[in-house]
Structure 1
Amino acid sequence: MSGDKTGTRAVVLGGSIAGLFAARVLADAYDDVLIVDRDVLVGVEGPRKHCPQSRHINGLLARGQLAMEEMYPGITEEIFADGVPTGDLAGHVRWYFNGRRLKPAVAGLTCVAASRPMLEKHIRRRTAALPAVSFREQHDILGLVTTPDRGRVTGVRVQSLLGEGGEEVVEADLVVDATGRGSRTPVWLEELGYPRVVEERKKIGLAYVTQHYRLLGDPYDGDLSINPVASPALPRGAIFTKTDGDRVELTTYGLLGDHPPTDQEGLYAWVKSLAVPDIHDALQHAVPLDEPVAFRFPTTLRRRYEDMDRFPLGLLVTGDAVTTFNPVYAQGMTAAALGALTLRDHLHTGAAPIPAQYFRDLATEVIDPPWEMTNAVDLTFPGVQGERTRQVKAAQTFLKLVQTAAVHDGKVTAAYMRGAGLVDKPDAMMRPAFLARVLWNVVRGAITDRLGGGTRGATAHRPEAAASSGRQASPPSRDDELVSTN
């Protein structure tokens, strides 16, 4: 990490996790790093008004944990010391695919089972401790300031939300937009005479509901989380995890308009319709600590800044403001962390980074691998519109084989979760020895199932439970075992 100083100021728009990660690496290259946000940030420990996702489960993948630790040495142990439970993504998380549990195996993948406010609190505390970093809280961001030729951004226009004074110009040598999905950079660029960035969207019709509980018994049997994932046959899933404050956090979701209700009785019935009974059984011995809260996520979004022919100097974009992944796969915070490391790589000379080079590296090194992987999974759901190319179909077939083999072999599970956790690149599972192991276990599993020795809970879904929730169970499709991993 470079210690070069430019004697200049960087302004980060947005103080959520992506903005904090960006500020962390900018603090090594700029004398002054200012974070501007509409919320009160410093000292806040609960959900924030302008961050609705803070009321729901936010997963940090294993690669994200490693990147966070690289930026803030020792932070993982600090979080655990604050009452956050942990485990291994492949060894201590109970993964169910179509009701079939993947065989567990410890893979060296650290889970940080922190609630979003807890994680944000620790990252913000470490970022705020940096001498260069300061906050401009409760300020709206009005627009960019540029040179007369509009070729370089030189600052931002902001205004207090408390009615204190009028519009103010904050000068900056670099502005980083980390304002999330609602980023106004596309509009600002058009107003400055630049082309509108191409946006790629995919309608998934996702909604999820979150509630926290105090358990009166322990259904985990040493595990950290119970995760039945959605499938084309039953587009419903859940994450039921231990978290900080001796609580359990449930986020249950449905795709393509099949959405969980927010009334308590309806939510219990919905949970009963999931592919396995584990969570519903556990909730019979749990006390709700809050009301169910819903969040709707109709489409994924990717802004193709890397394809723009012209882009002003002095401006970069990061986090959800560039790409908003399907949140079921828990890739957002990890992509933000890796995006910050990409930004760091473009600060090593002490000069302002060149946007085209930054966006190119961000796309190829950070966004493309998870985007392509989850796109293939999303397209296994017949109602999701998109081009099912030969490459996509091949990826789906391979993933189906891996998931089938993982039911019988923990080493396959470990390799699969290392890929899903973004620790290993996708081609790591293409090695001949691994391919042979997958094929052997697919054949072995098929023989075992025919002989009646299948894995517990091997049915693809629970028709009787689905019927009890008012939904007709769908017949299994050929791609039943092609489902999400996070």
Structure 2
Amino acid sequence: MTGKKWRRAVVLGGSVAGLLASRALSETYDEVVVVDRDELTDLSENRRGVPQGRHVHGILARGQQIIEEYFPGITEELEAAGAVTGDVAGDVRWIMDGVPMSKGHSGLLAVSVSRPTLEARIRHRVRALVNVSFLDRSEVVGLRFAPGTHQVTGVRTVDRDKRGGASDVDADLVVDTMGRGSHVPRWLTDHGWPGVQEDRTRVGLTYTTRHYRAGPEPSPGDLSVDVVATPDNPRGAICARIDGGRQVVTAYGILGDVPPTDPEGFLDFLKSLSSPEIYEAMVDGEPLDAPVSYRFPASLRRRYERMERFPSGLLAMGDAVCSFNPTYGQGMTVAALGSLVLRRHAAGDGAPDPAAYFGDLAREAVDEAWRQALSNDLGFPGVEGLRTPEILADQEYIGRVLEAAQRDGAVAAAYARVIGLVDPPEALRAPRVRAALGPA
């Protein structure tokens, strides 16, 4: 006997959200089974199920803290694997409308690493948990319900190596971490459950990425240079030092502005940004691959917390609940926050209550990140959406904060702590920050 409360949890999806969910559930369930259609190894390699994995990825500061809490020493392991670390306000060069933000000391760690390496190291640590197993190269094709009840009792899978090799996997709890493309909402309506409300913000984002041999430029002392897209200059790019002695350069455009995938066009796009630093560094750089693009049509939030009826034995987290504009780097951190909510509800006295869980998930993991992303997205005039008085006031105030951050490193550090989801938004209205803004 393990002394744990429940027999088996099944996690749908073996990406970062699924791995963190598995770690959280391993404390309460005798067995946690991770199901994924890809072959899951501990190698640092791109995989089909994560098409965005080739592009730049960011772990916000709060996400880094949670991952380190789950897996003590993993930050050192990532550094040993080539990850580059520094202060999120002191070692990252932020440039907006051609003007860099001042450097400050936030006290928060930034970890710059490729998505495949990060995922491989987390998966290695999860695989070491004695009660977690992986059912890879298996595709989930449906939910199983107990006859005559509202209880999900498992999933139906198909072995991708055996044609027609279908099987059932029983579970006390099923957690959907299959991302924005999850079929769970459709499976629920097929079983007579109401459809989940979806909020979408269409940003028409395309980002194009190329890797280069790491060199001293564009900013020798910084782990990344971020030329941020703004309403006045709606093109952006990030150049980050990552593992493998490489620099990853991801350029992005919104509302149908597509960074080209031919090498000359890619460089021309970098040259058109509000700051020339990345272009000047890469024009003579040594490319390691060809540019590749990824399209992201809209931010998506599934409002599970508003559903009046929902089956027991089923939860969701990560991009399966909320998928953000990736230029803000919020996805993995919101998944990490969601795993803390999952961990707490799994450890409660009874089986997790979906209504209570999704309410807490919204308040504790999603709401603030969604508010920040929505406010930023609606700052671009071509993005459709309701610009409420609250959003307009927030945009005006954050604009003043960013202007002050250009001349005051302490304001820049305070801003970094808020967008890193460590400090609440009220921290930007502290007396020290307000004094630096000057008169309205």
CA contact (8 A) 2:212 2:287 kept: yes
1:213 aligns with 2:212: yes
Which residue matches 1:279?
278
Which residue matches 1:374?
373
* Superposition pairs of residues 63-462 of structure 1, within 5 angstroms: 63-163=62-162, 166-349=165-348, 351-439=350-438
CA contact (8 A) 1:415 1:429 kept: yes
Q: Distance in 2 between matches of 1:315 and 1:358?
A: 10
Q: Distance in 2 between matches of 1:221 and 1:140?
A: 45
CA contact (8 A) 2:6 2:172 kept: no
Q: Distance in 2 between matches of 1:130 and 1:215?
A: 35
Which residue matches 2:19?
20
The unaligned stretches of length 5 or more in structure 2 are none
CA contact (8 A) 1:217 1:285 kept: no
Give 2:19's aligned amino acid: L
Tell me the SS of whatever aligns to 1:193: coil
Deviations 1:319-338 (Å, cap 9, x if unpaired)? 00000011010000000011
Which residue matches 1:36?
35
Give 1:379's aligned amino acid: L
Q: Distance in 1 between matches of 2:215 and 2:420?
A: 31
Q: Distance in 1 between matches of 2:280 and 2:6?
A: 59
Q: Distance in 1 between matches of 2:62 and 2:327?
A: 17
The unaligned stretches of length 5 or more in structure 1 are 443-486
Q: Distance in 1 between matches of 2:35 and 2:50?
A: 14
Residue 359 (structure 1) shift: 0.3
CA contact (8 A) 1:241 1:249 kept: yes
Task: Please provide the CA RMSD for this pair.
Answer: 1.3
Q: Distance in 1 between matches of 2:85 and 2:43?
A: 23
Residue 438 (structure 1) shift: 2.0
Cα distance change, pair 239–334 in 1 and its aligned pair in 2 (3 A): same
Give 1:394's aligned amino acid: A
Give 2:247's aligned amino acid: V
Tell me the SS of whatever aligns to 2:433: helix
Give 1:188's aligned amino acid: W
Give 1:329's aligned amino acid: Y
Q: Distance in 1 between matches of 2:28 and 2:6?
A: 8
- Choose 162-171 or 320-329, whichever is displaced more: 162-171
CA contact (8 A) 1:29 1:350 kept: no
Deviations 1:174-205 (Å, cap 9, x if unpaired)? 00000001011110110111100000001101
Structure with higher Rg: it is: 1
Q: Distance in 1 between matches of 2:290 and 2:128?
A: 35
CA contact (8 A) 2:214 2:241 kept: no
Which residue matches 1:449?
none
CA contact (8 A) 1:6 1:351 kept: no
CA contact (8 A) 2:22 2:32 kept: yes
Q: Distance in 1 between matches of 2:307 and 2:153?
A: 20
Residue 44 (structure 1) shift: 3.2
Tell me the SS of whatever aligns to 1:416: helix
Identity of aligned residues (%): 50
Q: Distance in 1 between matches of 2:284 and 2:105?
A: 29
CA contact (8 A) 1:5 1:350 kept: no
Give 1:99's aligned amino acid: G
TM-score (structure 2 length as normaliser): 0.98
Residue 437 (structure 1) shift: 2.0
Tell me the SS of whatever aligns to 1:201: strand
Which residue matches 1:454?
none
CA contact (8 A) 2:210 2:248 kept: yes
Which residue matches 1:458?
none
Q: Distance in 1 between matches of 2:282 and 2:93?
A: 17
Deviations 1:55-81 (Å, cap 9, x if unpaired)? 111110001000111111111111112
Q: Distance in 1 between matches of 2:216 and 2:112?
A: 19
Which residue matches 1:11?
10
Q: Distance in 1 between matches of 2:330 and 2:99?
A: 24
CA contact (8 A) 1:4 1:28 kept: no
TM-score (structure 1 length as normaliser): 0.88
Tell me the SS of whatever aligns to 1:8: strand
How many residues are treated as equivalent by the alignment?
439
